[in-house]
Amino acid sequence: MCDVGYRIWHRGYCAGNEGNHSVRISDDRVLCTPTGVSKGFLAPDQITVVDMDGNQIDKKNKMKRTSEVLLHLQIYKARSDIRSVVHSHPPHATAFAMANIPIPEGIHPEAEVFLGKVPMAAYATPSYKELGESVLTVMNQETNTVMLGNHGAVCFDSTLMGAYYKLEILDAYCRILLLTIGLGQINQLTPRQMYDLLEVKAKFGMPDARIKTAMEGGIGKENHGYLKAFPQKKKK
């Protein structure tokens, strides 16, 4: 928990006391980061323990659990396969959330394999149960990353490192996307290339329902918001 917190802080995915992460350790117990502490300076005795209703169990701990643990708990309750949640504000990805531009699809192989489709949840006030509700409305059994409108991102996995890696991949991908705008062009994968890529993904044990519409060009239809940012070529 502390090591991942340092990685998140060191990579600049959170500032000040931002962000939070958790690990589900049993059916009714979750370890989570405390409120008011930089994720780069966490100590083991600061990690808190809560039940599935958000009640802090370790009463002797002077630290209070993060107020956003309710988001984590709603995700855990929705998917029994998820054992860890990481929420932070990676700057390149958060730029897409603030612009309300969906994360583009059908461009980068690694993003397609490790992230898949990344939905955008409507803005909801942080620390309120509505934030988790907005996430649940857009996620399904294949989702591992959700953008939070005007807020940041939340990633989840069966392990803490797996959830952290998704956060890292997400921000790296978004940084690349923003760099391509400066180059003035982007090359999107063809339907055939996407189909073949998702077949490879399935062989890795990560089935992706989008393969059903890949050959029909169904992937990348929501990319128009991102593509609009490219310099428009003047007509002769």
Give the catalytic positions in this structure.
Answer: 68
**CA separation, residue 50 to residues 39, 44, 63, 170 (Å):** 18, 15, 12, 28
Taking a C-beta distance cutoff of 8 angstroms, is the pair 208, 142 a contact? yes
Number of C-beta neighbours around residue 67 at 10 A: 14
Q: How far is it, in rounded angstroms, from Cα 50 to Cα 35?
A: 13
The DSSP bridge pattern shows strands 84-88 and 152-157 to be: antiparallel
Q: How far is it, in rounded angstroms, from Cα 120 to Cα 133?
A: 13
Which amino acid is located at 177 in the chain?
L
Taking a C-beta distance cutoff of 8 angstroms, is the pair 121, 135 a contact? yes
Taking a C-beta distance cutoff of 8 angstroms, is the pair 126, 151 a contact? yes
DSSP output for 88-146: E--HHHHHHHHHT-PPP-SS-HHHHHHT----EEPP--TTSHHHHHHHHTT--TT--EE
Tokens of 124: 């909801």
